[in-house]
Amino acid sequence: MDNRKLRILTRHRASMAGLALIVFLSAMAALIGLLSPHDPVSWRPGEQNLGSSGAHWLGTDNSGRDILTRIFFGARISLFLGVACVTFSAAVGLPLGAAAGYFGGVTDGAISRFLDILLSFPGILLAIAIAAPLGAGLWTVILSVGVVGIPPFARQIRASVLSLREHDFVVASRALGASPTRTLIREILPNAAGPIIVVATLGIGSAILSAAGLSFIGLGVEAGTAEWGAMLHDGYVDPRLHRTLALYSGLAISVAVLGFNLFGDGLRDALDPRSRPGA
């Protein structure tokens, strides 16, 4: 990203606010073990369902665990899941889309139809259908939410490859005898990186949302894990908690997703002049 684009991005107030939210949650996720005196996992009889106090700012849940501590521990899992799902989507989607755009013809036809078929399921429904037979667990979430995220990556890189394929520097690389893989990685990918970064940033937000949704209905992480969707569900079904747990874990999800959406929008504006407001 050159200086001009960086300047546009840093002056984009909303996207800087988004970045601040992401940095804040990441920092809290990293440091919560040092900052909080409470243990996020162990069961503490006699301290269940306490209201908020000096010791427990948001109170405790039905196992006597500090809610605020668990929410920031939840940031570890939810942020990790968001990044892991998007990494999976990119690892599958980018090679597929690049091959479709570069080779064209039958390859393109087959890959594009495959993407059409993935897109013929409503996203969360496909995730549920994949997660149902696998059973709860981190890998289930990564796989099921990751598969849903493949098409945006594949379509974006395919479009970029199509538009770059006939440029002189690509033709030159081919003429020098470079293999398709080398041409794609060394010549095309660097020039197509911008839009992919945008897809990835916005993708993390929606992956966090889907992962929380899966956990909320019991198909995500294993029950009892400090994950926002699962905590929201726990707070939901247990009215004794006065829904504090559900309220704050939902707020945490919204803040994280908002952060990635704001930052992603700003990145897109910085990288693509056409989408800039007022342009």
Single out the segment in contact with other proteins by CB under 8 A; choices: 30-38, 179-187, 188-196, 228-236.
228-236
Question: Hey, which residues between 106 and 165 contact other proteins (CB under 8 A)?
Answer: 113, 116-117, 120-125, 128-130, 132-133, 135, 162
Say which DSSP state 184 is in: I
Q: Which of 201, 195, 153 is nearest to 18 (CA)?
A: 201
Distances (CA, A) of 207 to 29, 81, 83, 141: 18, 8, 8, 9
CA distance 204 to 279: 27
Question: Any contact of residue 199 with other proteins (CB under 8 A)?
Answer: no
Question: Any contact of residue 17 with other proteins (CB under 8 A)?
Answer: no
Q: Which of 116, 260, 142 is nearest to 197 (CA)?
A: 260
Question: Any contact of residue 225 with other proteins (CB under 8 A)?
Answer: no
- Among 59, 64, 149, 250, contact with other proteins (rule: CB under 8 A): 250
Question: Any contact of residue 213 with other proteins (CB under 8 A)?
Answer: yes
**What one-character-per-residue DSSP string does 112-155 give?**
HHHHHHHTTS-HHHHHHHHHHHH-SSHHHHHHHHHHHTHHHHHH
Single out the segment in contact with other proteins by CB under 8 A; choices: 58-66, 77-85, 165-173, 247-255.
247-255
* Residue ranges in contact with other proteins by CB under 8 A: 113, 116-117, 120-125, 128-130, 132-133, 135, 162, 205, 209, 212-213, 216-219, 229, 232, 236, 243, 246-247, 250-251, 253-254, 257-258, 261-262
